[in-house]
Structures are given as structure tokens and as C-alpha cells.
Amino acid sequence: MTAVLDARGLGLRYKGGWALTDCTLSIPPGRVVGLVGPNGAGKTTLLNLAVGFLVPTTGTVEVLGGRPGSSLARVGFMAQDAPLYASMSTADHLKIGARLNPGWDDAYAARRVQSLGFDPAKPASKLSGGQRAQLALTLALAKRPELLVLDEPAASLDPLARREFLEQLAEAVAEREMTVVLSSHLVSDLASICDYLVVLSTARVQVAGPITELLAAHRGSTRSQSGLEELVLAYLSQGRRDETEAAK
Amino acid sequence: MTWLTWRQFRAQSSAVVGVVAVLVVAFAVTGPQLAHLFDASGLPSCVSGADCQSALTHFAAAVNASKVYPLLYVAGLAALYGMPAVLGIFWGAPLIARELETGTVRLAWSQSVSRVRWAATKVGLIALAAGAAAALLSLAVTWWAGPIDRAAALAGQGQGLGFPHRFMPLVFGARDVVPIGHAVFAFALGVTVGLVVRRTLPAMALTLAAVAAMQVVVPTTVRAHYATPAETSMALTLAPETPHSIFITDDTLEVSMPVTLPGDWITSIRAVDAAGQPFTGPAPQICISPTSSMADCDAAVNALHLRQLVSYQPADRYWTFQWYETAIYFVLALALAAFSVARVRRIRLS
């Protein structure tokens, strides 16, 4: 099986330094990938490179076997802070989805919005943070993508809305065949729905692999009963140690 | 993409559409009466010079008797000169800049439509709307002002209405097809500036400055070069009873007589000496002497055998100039639009 996302030596430099360096990563299809790391670790950069919003300084990245942005209809993307047209209603947004996507599943979108129970005539600027995130997610899901990319989808939500959002995301993901890449700076967001983990810190990939394998290997080496949280923390502090040593 | 473009455009277009509608109605209501004044003045049927002169005086008096006609005349000019700036500022500059600023491009570019199609549809459709709005207003103004423009083209210096005719720089840009080209160009300029600056408010300010600059530069330095001017000359023979002007400094003399070429656009009037060389002075001694009379000075100037050379664009070139200028604006608009669409393809979102 070919990788859904294949990055080789991927790097991006901006004015102040490197946002991402030497990222080599291969994500197999069908996975729900959690991309975790502290703020500023390069998560958004990696995702923006994957959807073609940024162009790499070094290396290459292929998405669904092609250049990022070349298969728009097959990739669903929900950007950070769920951008929506402030003056347009939920119904308008669904119409945008229907008009601009050949694979649009209108029945699914309508059903999903109805089950979420918010007024389809209300402009997006009057929706709550949770509703905005849900609407943006609906737009990304209803185009029936093979790859769904979500950049910090729950970051702006309060804890309750956050849990609700993630539960509904898990449901939607379970319903259909697709690969999901979702970033977060909170491990707890990812624990419930992801089966694959990429830890990013200080612009580098610290570790990537199926969660079960990572946990098994981690337990083996440290002989502790750590959960996912501790595993991630171990890799993050490892990354920081490497950084300080490199600085010396 | 067409639907999304109209959906976004609906709110921002209403102000311009409203103003255009009000003006068109005002012109439609008052236009027939103005045309009637023209017919009733005897101008359409006059043959001899004296007949026409009296008809012209009649018409001028009738037009100026009401405050409505001069007011609407100026309103038409102001609206057609203001329109390009308004379209550039409110339709062009925010078109892409606002989406970049608010982040909605991330939503738009995550749909299955390529960026090129996204940008080309937005720019293309709204350019069409800008052209249509300008065409409608220009049609109304040109039709309404028709009687005044025709009368102005008959009148000589200091006669009749006192309005410039349609080939004069001020009126030319607010008649027939030129306003359409100008509107489409200003819109495309706004889009491009917005895309380069990426922030709506500064883009609006820059667009206003650029459009205003074009409105000054084109009539003053570009337009006269669309065709080689025709030339005519006349002897500069001064007499106390004919109007003329003399301007003297230490070693220069500027002398001219008013030229009457009804309907033509006079681009330059200059004095030449008997050998055909430009004449700038010096003034004959007698003109500087405090004791001599005006007639003595006139006679001394006449003795120089100066001629007055007039460059002008004949009235029958009006449409050539209209199409020429419209084409220039369209070509510029097309280039700006192409540049914008190409730039959207390469834009990076951090």
C-alpha cells in the first residue's frame, strides 16, 4: 500500500529560522494520525505544506501520490480557528460545499447539521466556537475526502465543547474509509481517537508510528506503566535535550 | 464558483447599484424636458450664423433658468469621475485582500476548485459588473447631456452655455465608452493592489491614490498623443478692438488671440515668427515704455509679422479617441487581472 502522505527531508525556512527541518514521514492509509507537539513545534507548518498552502524550502512531500494541492477534491482540510464567511449562514456554507465539490454528499451534510441542532439561517459570526468548528468539520467531511486534515480543530473550544466535538469526530471517522491527520498540543485530545502518533518538537519529528507499537517499545525500555501522555512527554523532553546539546 | 461570487458580492454592491439607480432615474425624468428646450430653442433648424447665435443664447438662457440642469450636469460628471475610484476601492481592493486578511481563503482553497478558477471567476464576473454599472451610468449621462453637448460644440469662445464640449478633457472622460474602460481598469487595479499589499485598508488608500493619479495623467499627458494633431495658423494681427492677450516680462513676450474651432480639441497655441520659428520675445521697446499707448505696442507687435500656430484634434476624431482610450484601459485591466490570477496561484499562506 502506498503512503497517503510521504515526506522526505521536508523543511521550511522563514525569516526567523526553520519552522520545520528534515522531516521524513510516511503515513499509511486508513490511519487516524495524531500530530502532537507544543505550540510552535511546526505542526501547522507541516499540515500547510501537506495541503499546498506552503512550498517547502528543502525536501519533498507527496499527498495521495501527487503534489500537494493537485488533488483538491480528495483532501478535506479544516484550518486552524475554523475560518468561515462571517456574514453567511450555515445553509450558505453548505451551498458553497455543494457547488464547489464534485463528490459532495448533500444528504450527509444536511443530516449532520440537523443532528447538531443549530439554526441553519444564522450567520456564522453568530455561531458559538463549538458550532463553528462543527460547521467547518461538516464542510470537510461532506466532500468525502480520502484524506482529512484537521489543524488544531478543538483548540479554541471550552472543555465540554471540546469533548463533544472529538466524540463526534470519532463517530464520523469510524463511519467511513479515510485517513485522518489531526494536530493538537493536547495529548488527551488524541488518546481517544488516534491509532497512529507523530510527535513534533523544535521543528523536528521526534517519533512516528502506530500507538500500540510505540507504547510497547516504551514500556520495554523504561519498565514503567506509562500511558500515552508519558510517552509523548518522554519524546518531547528527549527532543529538548537534543536541542540543548546541539546548541552546546 | 459563480454562485459564491454573487453571494459575496451582493452585500457590497448594493450601495453602488443604489446610487446608479437614483441617478439614472433622475436623468430619465429630466432628460425629455431638456431635449424639448433644445428643440424649442431653434437650434436644430437654424442655418445662418446669426440665427444660430440667437438660438444658442435662447437655449443657454433656458438651461440656466432652472437650477436642476446645471446641477445634474455637474452631478453626471462627478459620478462618472468618482465611479472608477469607488469601484476600485470598494469592489476591487477587498476582493482578495479581505479573504487573505480574515483567513477565509483557507476555506475557499480547501474546496475542489483550483485557485486559478477561484480567482478568475471572482475577478472576471465582478469586472463585468463594474463595466455594466459604468456603461449604464454613462449611457444615461451621455443621453441626458446630449443637447447641452451639441450646443457646446456649436459655440465659440465666450458664447452660449459656458460648458465645455464633449471633446474637451473634462467632459471626454465622462461620455460614451471611456467610463466603461476606466471603471474596469480601476477595479482590476484595486484587486492587484489588494493582492500585493494583502491588507484591505492600506490597499483601499493606495487604490484611491493610483486611480486619482491616472485621472490626472491620462487627460493631461497621454490623450493628446493618440493621433498627430492637425495644425492651422493665422496672422497675429492685433487691434485694440479685437480680443487678445499680451504678457511681458524682462526679455519675453507672450502674445495670443483667442481661437474659435467649434467642437475641436485645441491642444496648443503658440506664436511663431515670419521664418516659422517659435517666438518668445523680447518685447518691442515701445511696449515696455511707460509713456506709450496700447495701440503703439499693438502696432509694434504687428510689425514683427508673427503668426499664431494652433494644434488641434478635429471634432471628427472624437470616436477614434474614445475607442483608443477605452482600448488602452481594457488592455491595462487585462494585464492586471492576468497578473493577479497568476499571483494567486503562487501565494503562500503561513
DSSP B3-57: HHHHHHHHHHHHHHHHHHHHHHHHHHHHHHHHHHHHHHTTTTT--SHHHHHHHHH
All cell numbers assigned to B319: 470616436
- Cβ pair B77, B152 in contact under 8 A: no
Rounded (to 5) percent helix, strand, coil in chain B: 65, 10, 25
Helix, strand, or coil (residue A54):
coil
Say yes or no for a CB contact (<8 Å) between A77 and B103: no
Using CA atoms, how far apart are residues A4 and A6, in angstroms rounded to an integer?
A: 7
Using CA atoms, how far apart are residues A35 and A182, in angstroms rounded to an integer?
A: 6
- Cβ pair B187, B92 in contact under 8 A: yes
All cell numbers assigned to B87: 469601484
CB atoms within 10 A of CB A208: 18
Angle at which helix B2-40 crosses helix A90-100, to 10 degrees, equals 100
CA–CA min distance B12, chain A (Å): 12
Using CA atoms, how far apart are residues A13 and A21, in angstroms rounded to an integer?
A: 8
| Mean of pLDDT values over B230-250 | 84
Q: Is some CB atom of chain A closer than 8 A to the CB atom of B14?
A: no
Name the residue among A168, A165, A147, A145 with its Cα closest to residue A155: A165
Q: How confident is the model at residue B159 (pLDDT cuts 50, 70, 90)?
A: low
Q: Which residues of B touch A14 (CB under 8 A)?
A: 350
Say yes or no for a CB contact (<8 Å) between B111 and A85: no
Q: How confident is the model at residue B287 (pLDDT cuts 50, 70, 90)?
A: confident
Q: How confident is the model at residue B91 (pLDDT cuts 50, 70, 90)?
A: very high
Per-residue confidence (pLDDT) for residue A117, from 0 to 100: 85
| Mean of pLDDT values over A52-71 | 92
Say yes or no for a CB contact (<8 Å) between A83 and B349: no
A225 pLDDT above the threshold of 50: no
Using CA atoms, how far apart are residues B128 and B125, in angstroms rounded to an integer?
A: 5
Q: Is some CB atom of chain B closer than 8 A to the CB atom of A209?
A: no
In chain A, positions 58-77, which contact chain B (CB-CB < 8 Å)? Answer: 72-73, 75-77
CA distances from A174 to A35, A84, A192, A211 (A): 19, 26, 12, 17
Helix, strand, or coil (residue A63):
strand
- Could you tell me which chain A residue has the CA closest to the CA of B106? A79
Say yes or no for a CB contact (<8 Å) between A53 and B103: no
Q: Is some CB atom of chain B closer than 8 A to the CB atom of A48?
A: yes
ipTM of the complex: 0.91
Higher pLDDT, B24 or A206: B24
Pick the range with the lowest mean pLDDT from A22-36, A211-225, B101-115: A211-225
pTM, to two decimals: 0.91
Say yes or no for a CB contact (<8 Å) between B110 and A51: yes
Residues whose CB is less than 8 angstroms from the CB of residue A22 and which lie 6 or more positions away in sequence, other chains included: A9, A10, A11, A58, A59, A204
Q: Is some CB atom of chain B closer than 8 A to the CB atom of A30?
A: no
- What residues are paired with B234 via a beta bridge? B308
| Bond prior to B282 in cis (omega within 30° of 0) | yes
Say yes or no for a CB contact (<8 Å) between A79 and B106: yes
Q: Is some CB atom of chain A closer than 8 A to the CB atom of B104?
A: yes
Query: DSSP secondary-structure letter at B316?
Result: G
Say yes or no for a CB contact (<8 Å) between B107 and A76: no
